[in-house]
Structure 1
Amino acid sequence: MTSETADVDPDYAELARPGESRNDPAVMRASLERWLGTVLGLGANPEVTSIEVPSANGMSNETVLFDATWTEDGARSEYRLVARIAPPASAAPLFPSYDLNQQYEVMQAVAAHTSVPIPRVYWSESRPEALGGEFFVMERLDGDVPPDVMPYTFGSWLSEASAEDRSRLQRASVGVLAELHAMAHPQQACPNLVAEGTELTGAATLRAHVAAQRRYYEWATADGPRSPLIERGLDWVESNLPTEAGPAVLCWGDARIGNMMFRDFEPTAVLDWEMATIGPRELDLSWMIFLHRFFEDLAGMAGLPGMPDFLRREDVTATYMELTGHRAADLDFYTLYAALRHAVIMFRVQCRAVAFGQAELPANPDEMILHRATLEAMLDGTYWSSVATGSAR
């Protein structure tokens, strides 16, 4: 690691993953075998042949990788599986609640009504006794994932790929959003994503989404420091809501390439649906654009070239319009809102680190927002002009 890359602080994401929240693999193996016996029935004789709790587990759900065999139709079959488990309260969870069954149902709906590549989901279990929290089980697929730590914008298989291959991956990623947003009647396929009484328009669902973000921030700061910058951002967003927000569509929520698997630069799996919602399609487009800018700005902080020609706002929206006929609107608002949402999440991440004794609380709580300068520039109206001139890097 060079002295420049050290400034990025590669441990920032690890602070969100306290070891106390992980389960013992040997105990989990036995628990999974017992549970599989209950869902598969007599004669299945399930056996968990291997199990792995990744050291870089998620910042939200727990992830457990396991292989299992059981008897089905008189023959022994082998399966490669993943369990996603809600974290215990002792882990200072990232979000106030975890509806794993809702994720399961959203993935089922997306698989049934679109061509978005979704792993097969097998079971959803609401009882916490088996694994210490509600969970669902899905198939385990293989593919290349753009890394978060260190960010894919430098020294990764993606940053080292040819411009042609990166362009192919970019177009395919935007294509996933286009296909997802084309789902007809998403409120019928995913009824639990819409609060009762919410009008099914882009404007109404956006208002509901912003109100939920305010509630999330209040929950995240109930027992700890508050962020003047986030509060300034929330006030700005609430005062500048677009008057026209287009139709409401099914949004992935955490729409970024780091939540996708690729093979030969084409998507093979779209993962992490816990932030799925129904709202304006710009929620997904802006999240994909901003999350790349987040990593691109990290590369700039480290004095590295990054990937400035990748997932540019104008290219993403042009491809999306080509594929859907929809011209993305109010992107200054939506990308700022994406940066603000990410700020609340990162603020919660760092508060978790403080709670677990892995970081000290700074005198200015806004310093816990890694992209503080970006959000400040967006609120000041100077960020995108600096990106255009290259001075943001």
Structure 2
Amino acid sequence: MTRHPAPDGVNTTVTTTRTDLAELAAALQSWLRTADDDPSVTVEDLTRSESSGMSSVTVLFTAVRGRDRSEQVLRLAPEPSALPVFPGYDLHRQAAVTGALADAGLVPVPRVRRVEESPEPLGRPFLVMDRADGTAPPDNPPYVFGGPFVDATPTERDRMQRASVALLAGVHATPPPDALRADGAAGTGLARLVDDTAGYYAWTVSEGGVRVPILEDGLRRLRDELPAQASPDVLAWGDARIGNILYRDFAPTAALDWEGAALAPPEYDAAWFVFFHRMYQDMAESFGKPGLPGFLRAADVLEQYRTDSGRTLHDMPYFLMLSAVRMGIIFARIKARSVHFGDTPAPTDPDEYVLHHRMLRTILDDRYEWEI
């Protein structure tokens, strides 16, 4: 997909790895020959994915076995020296979730072929999966600044929105794999999420980050205002957003990125789905761009989700605040890594480590209008 230019003032330089692709291709080819017990296997067209995430490194390649050409994806665990975004990266857990989704058949996902836990072949653990066809709305620069999703007709965007919310309902209707059931007793997902969020923030500070006052304000509110009751836990995506969905003709072809999957209330994913677009929409408007103001409106998403899933979601302002705080911690970590690699200077105000710190402040001050 052709990338649209970023507006002046938007930094799109994000270094996540120093991986040498030529060396990686040679090492991957050697590993495939051993794993397949086939010395004729070759690796061709190995390139870094344009939509490679902030946590892992995603590489596209073609595995050639005689006349058979198989387009595949390599996902590498983060380099320990590159300030990983998250403290852990459980490849078997990701594969288990993807397998459960594939078995249920409610959500299109690519097939995971192999998981390699040893760092010896490629320097880090990794998994290999089939490559799905389609295009994901980009994050860098965000899709709201221009491109095919902005240029789409209202009918096309409505079809995309309806199919995406239905996909989310399908995730939540999928029986969780045993790898998630081991997390804890049913019904405790929200408390675990808040504890995990606080623990994640503490880890980022201890591992080369800085203390961010606005995030600490948010964590206090999350603890103090924890709902007395939460919806029953479901298989939650953990990163439910259209940027993790591939589309063809505005219909989903694959759902990606399951490293954050957990047992959690469905509100967790629904709030993330709404929050992420609103964050990007606010960003577009701050740069004088129209963005997509009528797309993924909270009220529309929640009503359609109720229709598709049969569930009514509760306490959404709390879960939207949780999304804003949790994403703030992720952004603070990404900013710290950007400073580490020399992509950007360190902010003088620690709150500015959070890309959406102005939005987050209005949320914490109860001044943000979600239109629920």
Over aligned residue pairs, what C-alpha RMSD do you find? 1.9
**How big is the shift at 1:55?**
6.3
Residues 263 and 62 from structure 1, CA distance in 2 versus in 1: closer, same or farther, beyond 3 angstroms?
A: same
Equivalent residue in structure 2 for 1:357, among 327, 337, 342: 342
Partner of 2:44: 49
Deviating runs (4+, > 6 A) in structure 1? none
Report Cα offsets for 1:159-204 as digits up to 9, x if no partner.
11011110110011000111111123x2xx2434642xx2201xx1
Equivalent residue in structure 2 for 1:66, among 38, 41, 61: 61
Contact 2:237 2:258 in 1 (8 A): yes
**How big is the shift at 1:271?**
0.5
- Normalised to the residue count of structure 1, the TM-score between the two structures is 0.89
**How big is the shift at 1:237?**
0.4
Equivalent residue in structure 2 for 1:207, among 159, 173, 191: 191
Q: Are 1:274 and 2:259 counterparts? A: yes
- Aligned residue-pair number: 368
Distance in 1, Cα, partners of 2:338 & 2:125: 24
Partner of 2:3: none
Distance in 1, Cα, partners of 2:365 & 2:70: 52
Equivalent residue in structure 1 for 2:179, among 191, 212, 221: 191
**How big is the shift at 1:291?**
0.2
Residues 22 and 166 from structure 1, CA distance in 2 versus in 1: closer, same or farther, beyond 3 angstroms?
A: same
Report Cα offsets for 1:354-390 as digits up to 9, x if no partner.
22222222221001211111111111111016x69xx
Unaligned runs of 5+ in 1: 389-393
Report Cα offsets for 1:25-55 as digits up to 9, x if no partner.
22222211221122212x4621112211246
- Normalised to the residue count of structure 2, the TM-score between the two structures is 0.94
Equivalent residue in structure 1 for 2:71, among 80, 96, 100: 80
Where in structure 2 are the equivalents of 1:376-391 lying within 5 Å? Answer: 376-384=361-369
Partner of 2:299: 314
Contact 1:86 1:134 in 2 (8 A): yes
Partner of 1:109: 100
Partner of 1:391: none
Unaligned runs of 5+ in 2: 1-5
Distance in 1, Cα, partners of 2:159 & 2:310: 20
Give the 3-state SS of the residue equivalent to 1:122 in structure 2. strand
Residues 54 and 264 from structure 1, CA distance in 2 versus in 1: closer, same or farther, beyond 3 angstroms?
A: closer
Where in structure 2 are the equivalents of 1:119-268 lying within 5 Å? Answer: 119-184=110-175, 186=176, 189-192=177-180, 194-195=182-183, 198-201=184-187, 204-222=188-206, 223-268=208-253
Distance in 1, Cα, partners of 2:198 & 2:181: 18
Give the 3-state SS of the residue equivalent to 1:253 in structure 2. coil
Give the 3-state SS of the residue equivalent to 1:347 in structure 2. helix
Contact 2:51 2:138 in 1 (8 A): no
Distance in 2, Cα, partners of 1:86 & 1:221: 21
Give the 3-state SS of the residue equivalent to 1:314 in structure 2. helix
**How big is the shift at 1:56?**
6.3
Report Cα offsets for 1:326-363 as digits up to 9, x if no partner.
11111100011101110000001111112222222222
